[in-house]
Each structure stands twice: as structure tokens, then as C-alpha cells.
Amino acid sequence: MSQPPQSGWGPDQPYGQSSPNGGYGDYGQSQQDGYGQPSPAEGYGGYGQDPSAASPSFGPSFGETEPAAPEKKNTTKIAVIVCAGCAVLALIVAIIGGGIFLFTRDGGESTGGAATTQEEPEEDEPAEEEPTEEEPTEEEPTEEEPTEEEPAEEEPAASGEGEGSREDPFAANQPFTLDDGEGGEIEVTFGNVDWDATEAIMDANQFNDEPGDGETYILVPVTVTYSGSESVSPSFLLSVSYVAGTGNSYREASAVAPNDSIHTNEIYDGGTEEFDLPFLIPEEAVEDGSFTVSALLDFRADDVWVAAE
């Protein structure tokens, strides 16, 4: 069962006695939470007591004035900052104004009151340049000195195209082809004949025989080129005879020629060699005859004829 709330005033007590619940104690006695006594929890202190000695209060004690609020120091700083800002702004405005004045004062009046005369810029008329006639320079043609080219040594041309027969022989310096008798081919060219080669042959080798009375040595240059799968020796490649106009034939002489075939080397496919063939013939047969030619190892082929020129 709940108790009824106790009154703040409490029951009447005898004068001078303390009341356990009353708001006011006996006269002259100290009471808890009495008027003028310090209160541990209330906002008002006792009468005549220092309010700071009690717990925090909501206002001044009875009969005392409220302390004055402390002065705000920030207002002074703000004023100084505002003044400084105004001074900087005024300086900027003065600089800009001075710059505008300097740029525009040429078009206005001077500060001394003297009128300034504005000089109009003089327009320079462009000077008319007279066209200069340049005289054309006549270039003298350079005379090129003709260069003398040394004539190339031309090989003697063939006197005519023959067919290789006795009636129509191959011409000197005309190439012709022979079968070598072993599956290869030989391209042969006879040059022009040296009809008086006795001295050259005798100088080539001291063991060469002197020509007899009414005889002379002749030399004919020969060029051969081999085509085939084997190799050949030029000294054993051809069989050549000189046939005089009388019908007599003369085989290759047993003398050593200045450029003899025995001095040549073995040739293979595409190889070429040059050599001289010597003949000892009667003097009356000089420049009156032809050569017969065949491959040394081809016994079934007919001889071909080459003009002795």
C-alpha cells in the first residue's frame, strides 16, 4: 500500500523544536534546507551567505547584484582587420587610378593648366620606286672540248659467212660448233693467218727444225670453248690440216709455237683457251688454201672447211 506524499511543511512542532520534514526549523536552530541556510541541491543559498560556497545556482542570492559580464576582446581585433583591409583596398584603387591616368593623359589637358597641342601623325607617302630594268646577262656558251676517246681494239670481222664446205668455207673470225665425240660441244674460231712466221717459230724453241728450201712456217690463232659434263685438253681436242690450192694437204708441224697448245690447261664446261697452230708449207702455197677441221675423237664426223685469210 503506497504512502501518501509527505508535505514539505510537516506537522506542527513546538516552538524551538526541530522538525524533521519542515521547511523551516525552530528559531535560532539550524535546519536542513532552511531559508538562509546553504542548500546542497537547490539553486538559492542562505540569506547573507556566499552563493559560490554552495552548489551551482541559477541566479544571485537574495539581496545581491548580478556581476557585470566580461568585455569582449574580439571587437578590437575585428576593427583593426577591417581598417587594414580598407587601407589595402584604397591602395589598390589608387594604383589602378594612377595607371588609368598615365595611359589617358596624352589625350587630355596637362596638370599645369597649359594646353597641350595634339600633333597629328604625319602620314608618310610611300615613295614610288622606279622599276629598274635589269639588262639580261648574255651567257656565253661554254665550248666543250671534244674528248678524244681511244678507239677500242676491235676484233677483225669475218670476211663472210660461210657454210663450212670446201666451196663455201667458214670465214676467218667466224665461230662454228663441233661435237667432241663424247657428248660435249666445242665452239671454234680461227683467226687471221701469219703467213711469214718462220722467225717467230725459230725464236720460240731452239730445237725447232729449220724450214727447207722453198718452205716457210705459218701460224693460225685458234680459240676454243667447251660445253659439256666432262673436261677436255685443248692440245688433244682438234685435228687440223692446211689444204693448198693444188689439193695437197699439210698437217700441223711438229714445231713448238710461241703460244703453243701444250701450254694450255684442262677446260671444263664454259672454259675457253687460245693457242697458235704452226704449219710448214711450200712458199707457193702461201695465201692459197684453206683449213680442214674436225674433233680429234669424233671419227664419224665430216671435216669442216675454214678459209685461210
pLDDT tens-digit readout, 9-31: 444 444 444 444 444 444 444 44
H, E, C per residue of the chain: CCCCCCCCCCCCCCCCCCCCCCCCCCCCCCCCCCCCCCCCCCCCCCCCCCHHHCCCCCCCCCCCCCCCCCCCCHHHHHHHHHHHHHHHHHHHHHHHHHHHHHHHHHHCCCCCCCCCCCCCCCCCCCCCCCCCCCCCCCCCCCCCCCCCCCCCCCCCCCCCCCCCCCCCCECCCCCEEEECCCCCEEEEEECCCECCCHHHHHHHCCCCCCCCCCEEEEEEEEEEEEECCCCECHHHCEEEEEEECCCCEEEECCCCCCCCHHHCCCECCCCEEEEEEEEEEEHHHCCCEEEEEEECCCCCCCCEEEECC
Sign of CA dihedral 92, 97, 98, 99: positive
Asked if pLDDT for residue 69 goes beyond 90, the answer is no
What is the reported pLDDT for 290? 98
Own/partner long-range contacts of 131-134 (Cβ < 8 Å, ≥24 apart) = none
Asked if pLDDT for residue 109 goes beyond 60, the answer is no
Asked if pLDDT for residue 150 goes beyond 70, the answer is no
What is the reported pLDDT for 102? 73
What is the reported pLDDT for 95? 86
Report the distance separating Cα 26 and Cα 33, nearest Å: 13
The x, y and z cell numbers of residue 149, run together, are 676517246
Which neighbouring-strand residues pair with 279?
A: 218, 252
Q: From the centroid of its chain, how far is CA 13?
A: 123
Q: Give yes or no for a contact between 62 and 44, defined as CB atoms under 8 angstroms apart.
A: yes
Asked if pLDDT for residue 211 goes beyond 90, the answer is yes
Q: Give yes or no for a contact between 307 and 172, defined as CB atoms under 8 angstroms apart.
A: yes
* pTM, rounded to two decimals: 0.50
Mean pLDDT in residue range 198-213 = 96
Mean pLDDT in residue range 234-260 = 96
- pLDDT confidence band for 267 (50 / 70 / 90): very high
Domain 176-307 has CATH 3.30.2020: no
Q: Give yes or no for a contact between 264 and 234, defined as CB atoms under 8 angstroms apart.
A: yes
**How does the average pLDDT of the chain come out, rounded?**
75
What CA–CA distances, in Å, run from 133 to 105, 127, 128, 198? 52, 18, 15, 83
What is the reported pLDDT for 144? 59
